[in-house]
Chain A
Amino acid sequence: MKAAVISFPGSNCDQDAIKAIVSTMQIEADLVWHAHTDLSSYDLILVPGGFSYGDYLRSGAIARFSPVMEAVANEAQRGKFVIGICNGFQILTEAGLLPGALRRNESLQFQCEMAHLVVENASTPFTANYHFREEIIIPIAHGEGNYYADEATLDELVQNDQIVFRYADGHNPNGSVGSIAGIVNKKGNVLGMMPHPERAVHTLLGSDDGSKLFTSMLTTWREMHGVR
């Protein structure tokens, strides 16, 4: 299994993502500059956090037109694992790979804190190693993480079991509808989430609950490809 971490001008969690992938999954992870147009050799594509293009105008709005995004869409189409974290989630929604949009936090402030999450769907490639309804602690750090989707879209998300993470009861930090913290696409191979699992892979960082997200992908991929 091989991972690509996309780097846009202004990405700043790209190195953290590589470190987390390498330390938890022990696989190769390349930093891929946004100008690249071919991602076919990768099994996992991670769109990291940060402030692509300064997040000017709207977060993710400009990055979504980077050359690499077409390749991301292609590989998503082919069923590769794609995960967008924080700014990456914003980019994936702007690009239409995931439904909805991320608005400013209700507090109107940037918020960085340990967030309590509930795993709502433990049968995605990203959550296979968690239990259903497991409570985990993963940090958030965003100013625009307030997930929005209209009623119809929300119904669909629920019906298809696309809601993967919610903020735990009473802990919604940003006002997102249904306390949504992370969703997958219909096919289940594209995940977007505001919390940063790559920042929770070692107890020295305050939590290692994010490790299982990475190892889940490895487990699933091995099963899919009959690798042990």
Chain B
Amino acid sequence: MAYGEPSAQEVKDQKIYRTFGLTDAEYDQIVTHMDRLPNYVETGVFSVMWSEHCSYKSSRPVLRRFPTTGERVLQGPGENAGIVDIGDQLAVVFKMESHNHPTAIEPYQGAATGVGGIIRDVFTMGARPIALLNSLRFGTLEDAHNRYLFSHSVAGIGGYGNCIGIPTVGGEVVFDDRYSHNPLVNAMCVGVIVHDKIAKGTASGIGNPVLVVGAKTGRDGIHGATFASTQDPHAKERSAVQVGDPFMEKLLLEACLELIDTGKVVGIQDMGAAGLTSSSAEMASRAGSGLILDVSKVPVRETGMSPYEMMLSESQERMLVVMKRGEEDIAYRIFEKWGLEATVIGQVTDDGFLTIVDGEDIAAKMPVTALVDDAPIANRPSMRPTYLDTLEEVIPASLASTDLHHDLLALLSSPTIASKEWVYNQYDSMVRTETFVRPGSDAAVVGIPDSKKAIALVTDGNGRQVYLDPYEGGAMAVAEAARNLVCSGAKPLAITDCLNYGNPEKAEIFYQFERSIDGLSEACRVLDTPVIGGNVSLYNESHGIDIYPTPIVGMVGLIENREHITTSAVKYVGDVLLLLGEIQPQPKALAGSEYLAIKQPQNALSYAMPAIDLQKEKALQDVTLAAIQQGAVQAAHDLSDGGLLVALAEMGIDGGLGVTVTLPDTTDPLSLTALCFGEQPSRILLEVKPADVEHVQQLADKAGVTCMAIAKVTEQLHFEVQQNTKQILCATLEEITASWRDSIRRQMQ
């Protein structure tokens, strides 16, 4: 009461718990678990632990459908990040997380702290972070506010990663007005670790000390939706958004890795959402233990903070550490060297309670199981959206291209397809000097220090496709990610995901969620890439508009031998470009395509897409990887946004060489358009020396993959397309390069 908080009785009588977002039923459940009325602090702690964000109450049952095990999986979902084995006692640790809502309010800091959070998730496992990626969705650039969100988010992502010295090596950006009010910022971090150094987020061993390390605690991000907000003297000076301190995190990273290396750490976890509350409850839950914490010992940067504020503060750059008893000095010494604080604030108990004391007073005492394991599950109704049944199966002939040259340039300069140099040139992609393939190719490739191995990294997702067909769209996201890795010479290993959806309380949105997870899961099974972690972001809705269902896949692949690293740029004049996979897609392949979105925006969502054949996809990827490993491939590029001509143009632009394309015959303009710009999945282009063509063709034949020579690399700097010995398109390399390379920069000026 010292802090002027309502009594337990008042919380109940005045239904104050509702202002925390708890329903009456949930409140009653809490009373049952507690066997008494929870006080104000306890109600607050329960409300955050049982929130969608921490408890995954809508998504948990559905997430169980993911395949999460595999030969190489050392750690699946459930820890701060997943881990896959890459041999030689080495493993890769990775995870992706969203920071959509904070970014919408304060794009620089929102995006920056998203990066900071995901880095902590990786080094808390004991891993050295070696790469960052980010997947972005914004409204179109004609709008000034979208430009503001976009430019500041990119600056924030760069600001954090550049400062901390982890290269940002990849990602993706898509522009669509569906994201105008709900930009998506998903950040992924990848680290390496030696098997026996893996740390976990467990609080075990009665009497072991619990420490807070890193930044001081302030009133950051404490949600204003409480009784206090109106009468709170600090309200005016407060912010729902945190400011990141990458410099602090760099020191924290080094100090934590040094500490973990001593072998005296029992458990360690970053303090992310709901800070001390969720980190302590989760660590105790994993160990089946209890914790007693004295919040008066937490180092603060503000005065007069209540236990409630201490427990819910989301101050960044902090970690919770459990040390072996008597070894606290090691932590003090290491943290002092890095100019940081490490403070014992409590210890592990065996009573199964999370007990919060404030000096002499007990502020809260709650059963850990009630906070974590018994969090309610919301069984959301699911209903197939009606729009899915009104999609047209036939693309009208009127959608055929009447000017291939014009349409190709329009596609190349569409910001979703155009070069993302404007973005990734703001990221330090080279620090650590292990980046062998920088942003701009299909997947980034990063070397594993002191080893011959390298890993390939990618993020992928296509919200429009998932909207048009949740199941197939989900499967396509995984397939595309894997295809990108294969094109860089890597064998896909596993994925992390970030599931961005609208309001799950709408049955149609929940259907999108469920069905797309089924699609993602099936593709993961077929392609043998289990899900080892991820994150869910729901309620991406505003002004009644939900974003496209946008699952983002972050995938990691392994390159055993650096000589197999392959990029998408063409290399040698005279080489042949082979198209693997469906040669002549049906007009249906134009559904959901970028071509359609540009040609007839009002009908971009009117047509049903073709399905993906996952077995064919697998065969295609196997052939490609085999050809690369046999040294027969000079460049490889997967076909995605914009289809065949865009992919060929990109290869020529990247390599600074001309390309002459010879298309197979088509019967009508619409088929030709589908051939040029259709986005039929499961296709790859390979640059092959003339002498190797036959060999690759045989490989493909044996695997039942269609393969056809479709283009030649030329010295003359033209991008030329012929059909039936007739030239149907001719552009200079300079022209297509300008369209593609300068588009975003031009729009951002």
A positions within 8 Å CB-CB of B = 9-10, 12-13, 15-16, 19-20, 49-51, 53-56, 109-113, 139, 141, 143, 196, 198-199, 201, 204-206
Contacts and interface: CB of A to CB of B under 8 A. Distances in A.
B513 interface: no
Interface string B424-445: 1111111111011010000000
B428 A198 contact: no
Contacts, number: 82
B162 A141 contact: yes
Contacts of B425: 109, 111-113
A198 B165 contact: no
Interface stretch (B242-250, B349-357, B364-372): B242-250
Nearest to B249: A54
A12 B246 CA distance: 12
Interface in B238-274: 245-248, 250-251
Given A55-B163, A112-B426, 11 more contacts: A9-B247, A10-B163, A10-B251, A12-B164, A51-B246, A56-B247, A109-B155, A110-B155, A143-B162, A198-B433, A199-B431
Contacts of B338: 9
Nearest to B434: A205
Contacts of A56: 247
Nearest to A54: B247
Contact of B428 (A141, A205, A206): A141
B116 interface: no
A141 B247 contact: no
Overall SS of chain A's interface: mixed
Interface of B: 155, 158-159, 162-165, 245-248, 250-251, 338-339, 424-433, 435-436, 438, 447, 562, 565
Most buried by A among B163, B245, B430: B430
B430 A141 contact: yes
Closest 9 CB pairs of A and B: A12-B165, A54-B247, A51-B163, A141-B428, A16-B433, A110-B426, A112-B428, A204-B436, A199-B430
A205 B436 contact: yes
Contacts of B245: 54
A111 B422 CA distance: 9
Contacts of B429: 112
A112 B436 CA distance: 15
17 contacts: A9-B250, A9-B338, A20-B433, A51-B163, A51-B246, A53-B247, A54-B247, A109-B425, A109-B426, A110-B158, A110-B428, A112-B430, A139-B430, A141-B428, A141-B430, A204-B447, A204-B562
Contacts of A143: 162
A54 B165 contact: no
B433 to A, nearest CB: 5
A50 B254 CA distance: 15
Contacts of A139: 430
B454 to A, nearest CB: 9
B618 to A, nearest CB: 30
Nearest to B158: A110
A113 to B, nearest CB: 5
A215 to B, nearest CB: 17
Contacts of A50: 165
A13 B166 CA distance: 10
Contacts of A205: 430, 433, 435-436
A196 B565 CA distance: 24
A111 B426 contact: yes
B247 A10 contact: yes
A38 to B, nearest CB: 19
A191 B250 CA distance: 27
A9 B339 contact: yes
- Chain B CB within 10 A, most for which of A16, A56, A110: A110
Nearest to B162: A110
A110 B427 CA distance: 7
B331 to A, nearest CB: 18
B431 A13 contact: yes
B259 to A, nearest CB: 17
B287 to A, nearest CB: 34
Nearest to A10: B247
B438 A51 contact: no
Contacts of B436: 204-205
B432 A112 contact: no
Contacts of B424: 112
A196 B164 contact: no
A86 to B, nearest CB: 10
A109 B435 CA distance: 22
Nearest to B435: A205
A20 B165 CA distance: 17
